[in-house]
């Protein structure tokens, strides 16, 4: 093979780029590598000049991977991971066995755990370690084999395996709606406390977005009761403290058990609400694919 055809980019620029792509942040990459944000930015810019393509879009002091950057980030992350893995093997360092499944806390608690025994029944020899988190994938503390999170949240250079649809609608405890003629119309929901999970950035649907999606302007004089995580929102709703937005895949068991009901008929359907990613953690690719296949089957039930 001709040397020019296999010439590598300057290696000193690849590590800052890989960290910035994985974390989707120059600042976080600088912190991880012990560099300044300016140094990371300059290394990435130099790599972009070398390649002749933009790897990141810069907007309002934030950076977002381009499609070329996301694709190149996956390749570089996998290559650096393979090098680190082989170096660890040569030093006699063993990696944990089994699969690591990174999952948003609410999906892990309400959707995944009641179903995971079916995977173990089918694959009794495969160990799955579930790591739940409130943070997006770019803030994952360790490499993962498979990850599940709401589409649109920061995912860095993680490889998207498939997306899943979901439906979003209001839910409430039966005792909160006693004496109320059901179904209520969306404007009447403002007569009740509205429970909200607020984060910055607001990277999943909240009440203003839901009201807009069903063709109704959200009232500005409302004062939602806010929580810092979605499981608390659901528990507050079950306790009768107010009406929450429910994702069908998450709240289905609570509806079946009668702990929650749907006070109105309106629903917002999202064709790609959940994303499932394949990670670059060293391990058994056949077992990772088995987990991905099982997840896709479960989501299609």
Q: What is the pLDDT of residues 46-75, one digit of tens each?
A: 999 999 999 999 988 788 899 999 889 888
Distances (CA, A) of 260 to 114, 198, 242, 269: 18, 21, 11, 20
Pick among 3.30.560.10, 3.40.190.10, 3.40.50.10190, 1.10.357.10: CATH of 99-155+273-299: 3.40.190.10
Q: Which two tokens stand for residue 60?
A: 């309002």
Q: Which residue has the higher pLDDT, 267 or 18?
A: 267
Give yes or no for residue 97 having a pLDDT over 80. no
- Residue 290 CA, distance from chain mean position: 20
Q: Say how far apart CA 7 and CA 113 lie, in whole Å.
A: 47
Q: Where, residue-wise, is CATH 3.40.190.10 in the chain?
A: 99-155+273-299, 166-271
The rounded percent of the chain whose pLDDT value lies above 70 is: 93
Confidence of residue 249 (pLDDT cuts 50, 70, 90): very high
What is the model's pLDDT at position 89?
Answer: 66
Give yes or no for residue 131 having a pLDDT over 60. yes
Give yes or no for residue 171 having a pLDDT over 50. yes
Q: Say how far apart CA 180 and CA 146 lie, in whole Å.
A: 44
Give yes or no for residue 243 having a pLDDT over 70. yes
3-state secondary structure (DSSP) of residue 84:
helix
Q: Worst-scoring range by mean pLDDT, 20-24, 92-96, 193-197, 230-234? A: 92-96
Average pLDDT over residues 140-160: 89
Q: Please, are residues 284 and 96 in contact by the beta-carbon 8 Å criterion?
A: no
Confidence of residue 272 (pLDDT cuts 50, 70, 90): very high
Give yes or no for residue 5 having a pLDDT over 50. no
Q: Worst-scoring range by mean pLDDT, 24-28, 256-260, 267-271? A: 24-28
pLDDT digits (tens, 9 = 90+) for 103-123: 998 899 899 999 999 999 999
Average pLDDT, the chain: 88
Q: Where, residue-wise, is CATH 1.10.10.10 in the chain?
A: 3-76
pLDDT digits (tens, 9 = 90+) for 16-32: 998 898 888 898 889 88
Q: For the CA atoms of 38, 57, 208, 233, what is the dihedral angle to 10 degrees?
A: -60
Q: For the CA atoms of 287, 291, 292, 294, what is the dihedral angle to 10 degrees?
A: 130
What is the model's pLDDT at position 222?
Answer: 58
CATH superfamily of 166-271: Periplasmic binding protein-like II (3.40.190.10)
Topology of domain 3-76, per CATH?
A: Arc Repressor Mutant, subunit A (1.10.10)
């Amino acid at each position: 093979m001709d040397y020019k055809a296999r010439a590598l980019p300057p290696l000193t620029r690849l590590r800052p780029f890989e960290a910035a792509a994985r974390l989707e942040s120059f600042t976080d990459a600088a912190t991880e590598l012990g560099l300044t944000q300016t140094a990371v930015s300059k290394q990435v810019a130099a790599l972009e000049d070398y390649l002749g393509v933009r790897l990141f879009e810069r907007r309002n002091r934030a950076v977002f991977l381009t499609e070329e950057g996301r694709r190149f980030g996956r390749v570089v992350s996998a290559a650096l991971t393979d090098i680190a893995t082989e170096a660890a093997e040569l030093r006699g360092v063993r990696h944990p066995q089994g699969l690591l499944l990174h999952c948003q806390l609410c999906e892990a608690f309400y959707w995944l755990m009641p179903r995971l025994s079916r995977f173990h029944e089918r694959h009794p020899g495969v160990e799955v370690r579930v790591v739940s988190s409130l943070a997006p994938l770019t803030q994952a503390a360790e490499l993962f084999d498979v990850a599940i999170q709401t589409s649109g949240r920061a995912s860095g250079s993680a490889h998207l395996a498939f997306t899943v649809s979901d439906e979003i609608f209001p839910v409430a405890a039966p005792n909160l709606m006693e004496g109320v003629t059901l179904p209520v119309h969306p404007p009447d929901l403002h007569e009740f406390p509205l429970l909200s999970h607020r984060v910055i950035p607001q990277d999943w649907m909240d009440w203003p977005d839901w009201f807009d999606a069903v063709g109704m302007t959200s009232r500005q004089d409302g004062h939602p009761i806010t929580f810092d995580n979605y499981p608390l929102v659901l528990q507050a709703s079950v306790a009768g403290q107010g009406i929450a937005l429910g994702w069908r895949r998450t709240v289905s068991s609570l509806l079946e058990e009668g702990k929650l009901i749907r006070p109105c008929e309106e629903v917002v359907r999202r064709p790609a609400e959940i994303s499932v990613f394949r990670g670059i953690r060293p391990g058994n690719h056949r077992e990772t694919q088995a987990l991905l296949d099982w997840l896709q089957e479960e989501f299609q039930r």
